């Protein structure tokens, strides 16, 4: 049976060493560059005409903008639009990496915990910096809910702090685990097809069953790829909202 984990192996393409820091260009980095090129290329090409009546591609770019802009406004209000560039970048970057990963033989960057963790930590640090810069020590109100009697407040505060600190972990693990599990399942079912076809006699007739499953799973994976990019962006908005309005 083909190894289902093999697809997640990070390969060194161009070894590079900058002052003792291992900056090797890997297949992971290659696909990140590819997704950035795809995004920038597509958006530049889509908006080159700037027509009043948009072309098909331009209307896709416009509805992408609207989609994220509405999400930002809904969760943070008008002042949240300051973070629009960050959130738009997050959404497109993750979505494109997820979608590129759906191409057979491609590397799924978001199935690496190191990558999703870096993204989640970036969000976490942004929340901390913005929270303290905007509200000063008032940001700590986030850990003191309203209407809690003073004698249970220490306990509640500790729980709130743990809840807050657990955010980057759940934020990164969710994206990583969804992509990893989905791709492993696909590979396993694909492997079943090959195994059954190479098996003796009557087992060959069973081969279409896992193939059918793999087809259905591919459709589901496309949904997951979009949904996880959406969820990651949505949660980023919510966390940033906490930084802007720590009162509630």
Partner 1 sequence: MTEPGPGATPPKGQMSPEDIAEFKRRATELGGRIDEVQAEKQAEIEAQQDKAMRGRGMALGLRMSTELVAAIVVGSLIGYMLDRWLGTAPWLFLVFFLLGFGAGILNVTRSFQRMQDEITRETGGNIGRPVANNDDDD
Interface contacts to partner 1, rule CB under 8 A: 155, 158-160, 162-163, 165-167, 169-170, 173-174, 177-178, 223, 227, 231, 238
Residue placing its CB nearer to partner 1 in the complex, 44 or 165? 165
Residue 174 contacts residue 228 (beta carbons within 8 Å): yes
d(CA 240, CA 246): 10
Q: How far is the CB of 226 from partner 1 (least distance, A)?
A: 11
Residue placing its CB nearer to partner 1 in the complex, 102 or 156? 156
Residue placing its CB nearer to partner 1 in the complex, 144 or 165? 165
d(CA 216, CA 220): 6
Q: How far is the CB of 82 from partner 1 (least distance, A)?
A: 23
Q: How far is the CB of 232 from partner 1 (least distance, A)?
A: 11
Q: How far is the CB of 164 from partner 1 (least distance, A)?
A: 9
| Measured CA angle at 36 (ends 100, 51), to 5 deg | 100
Residue placing its CB nearer to partner 1 in the complex, 63 or 166? 166
For residue 189, with 0-12 CB atoms within 10 Å meaning exposed, 13-18 middle and 19 or more buried, which class applies?
Answer: buried
Residue placing its CB nearer to partner 1 in the complex, 132 or 160? 160
| Measured CA angle at 89 (ends 86, 95), to 5 deg | 140
d(CA 238, CA 216): 32
Residue 62 contacts residue 45 (beta carbons within 8 Å): no
Residue placing its CB nearer to partner 1 in the complex, 5 or 158? 158
Q: Phi/psi of residue 17, each to 5°?
A: -135, 110
Q: What is the dihedral of CA 113, 115, 121, 123, to 10 degrees?
A: -120
Q: How far is the CB of 173 from partner 1 (least distance, A)?
A: 6
d(CA 130, CA 158): 22
Beta-carbon contacts of residue 165 (< 8 Å; ≥ 6 apart): none
Beta-carbon contacts of residue 234 (< 8 Å; ≥ 6 apart): 71, 75
Q: How far is the CB of 162 from partner 1 (least distance, A)?
A: 4
Residue placing its CB nearer to partner 1 in the complex, 6 or 248? 248
């Amino acid at each position: 049976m083909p190894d289902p984990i093999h697809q997640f192996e990070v390969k060194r393409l161009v070894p590079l060493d900058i002052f003792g820091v291992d900056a090797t260009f890997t297949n992971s980095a290659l696909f990140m560059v590819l997704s950035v090129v795809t995004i920038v290329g597509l958006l530049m090409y889509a908006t080159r005409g700037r027509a009043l009546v948009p072309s098909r591609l331009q209307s896709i770019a416009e509805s992408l903008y609207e989609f994220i802009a509405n999400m930002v406004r809904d969760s943070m209000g008008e002042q949240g639009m300051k973070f629009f560039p960050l959130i738009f970048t997050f959404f497109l970057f993750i979505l494109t990496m997820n979608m590129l990963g759906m191409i057979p033989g491609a590397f799924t960057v978001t199935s690496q915990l190191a990558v999703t963790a870096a993204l989640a930590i970036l969000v976490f640090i942004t929340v901390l910096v913005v929270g303290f810069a905007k509200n000063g020590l008032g940001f700590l109100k986030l850990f003191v809910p309203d209407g809690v009697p003073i004698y249970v407040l220490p306990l509640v505060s500790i729980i709130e702090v743990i809840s807050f600190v657990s955010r980057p972990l759940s934020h990164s693990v969710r994206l990583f685990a969804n992509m990893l599990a989905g791709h492993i399942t696909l590979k396993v079912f694909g492997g079943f097809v090959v195994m059954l076809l190479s098996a003796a006699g009557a087992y060959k007739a069973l081969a279409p069953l896992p193939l059918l499953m793999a087809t259905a799973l591919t459709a589901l994976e496309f949904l997951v790829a979009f949904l996880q990019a959406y969820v990651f962006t949505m949660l980023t908005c919510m966390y940033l909202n906490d930084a802007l309005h720590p009162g509630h």
